[in-house]
A and B are shown apart, each in its own frame.
Chain A
Amino acid sequence: AQTVTQSQPEMSVQEAETVTLSCTYDTSESDYYLFWYKQPPSRQMILVIRQEAYKQQNATENRFSVNFQKAAKSFSLKISDSQLGDAAMYFCAYRWNNAGNMLTFGGGTRLMVKP
């Protein structure tokens, strides 16, 4: 069974600085996607970024980028120029491409942004 581990229950960052959230996963599959979701206090899950396993290039979306290390099964999220609105729970998730659209989530990291 696939597992996703987020080892940092809480992180904090100063506004305008950079923070990295860690995620590791375990799978024997080679064809999969990885995701980072943000859940603000409104509870609405928002897709931040996704990475296809067969792509070596790290995905980037504006201030959000990932460091995907396939051999190490590591998928960290870097947030640059942190903003107050980035404060939220962040979930790392895995999806095997032959398993429909089902996601396996990590335990989450609560990010606090200090003004």
Chain B
Amino acid sequence: DVKVTQSLRYLVKRTGEKVFLECVQDMDHENMFWYRQDPGLGLRLIYFSYDVKMKEKGDIPEGYSVSREKKERFSLILESASTNQTSMYLCASSLGGANEKLFFGSGTQLSVL
């Protein structure tokens, strides 16, 4: 089975701190995605990547950046965390192509105080 790992289940940070959220997949998937999940808003796409060192903005990229130096790893970076970035962050991956199944990690609940 494909495994998408987000090692931190919960994370608490202070306003202004830099935050790294890491996602690792073990099935050589080309595509990787970062979503944030908020009550009533569902999941919204922050950034995605189709290949190593490639990144594309999603619907809500402001305040975030990403890094994909290795195929299996996709990091989400909050340069200066703010309270409105308190949310659940979900990573997903899939093979290349339009019809491939998405596999999700189990999320990191980030609280910014």
Nearest chain B residue, comparing its CB with the CB of A35:
B102
Instruction: Give the chain B neighbours of A9 by CB distance below 8 A.
Output: 40
Q: How far is the CA of A95 from the CA of B97 in the complex (A)?
A: 12
B90 to chain A, nearest CB (A): 7
Nearest chain A residue, comparing its CB with the CB of B35:
A105
Q: How far is the CA of A103 from the CA of B42 in the complex (A)?
A: 11
Q: How far is the CA of A43 from the CA of B44 in the complex (A)?
A: 16
Question: Does A45 sit within 8 A of B, measured CB to CB?
Answer: yes
Check if A105 sits within 8 Å of B44, measured CB to CB. yes
Instruction: Give the chain A neighbours of B106 by CB distance below 8 A.
Output: 42-44
Which residues in window 14-71 of B have CB below 8 A to A? 31, 33, 35, 39-45, 48, 50, 58
Of listed A99, A102, A104, A108, residue having the most chain B CB within 10 A:
A102
Of listed B35, B42, B43, B92, residue having the most chain A CB within 10 A:
B42
Question: Does A101 sit within 8 A of B, measured CB to CB?
Answer: yes
Check if B31 sits within 8 Å of A105, measured CB to CB. no
Instruction: Give the chain A neighbours of B31 by CB distance below 8 A.
Output: 100-101
Question: Does B74 sit within 8 A of A, measured CB to CB?
Answer: no
Q: Mark A36-62, 1 if CB is under 8 A from B, else 0.
A: 000000111101000000000000000
Given known A43-B106, A100-B31, A100-B98, contact A105–B43 (CB-CB < 8 A): yes
Question: Does A4 sit within 8 A of B, measured CB to CB?
Answer: yes
Of listed A4, A33, A42, A108, residue having the most chain B CB within 10 A:
A108
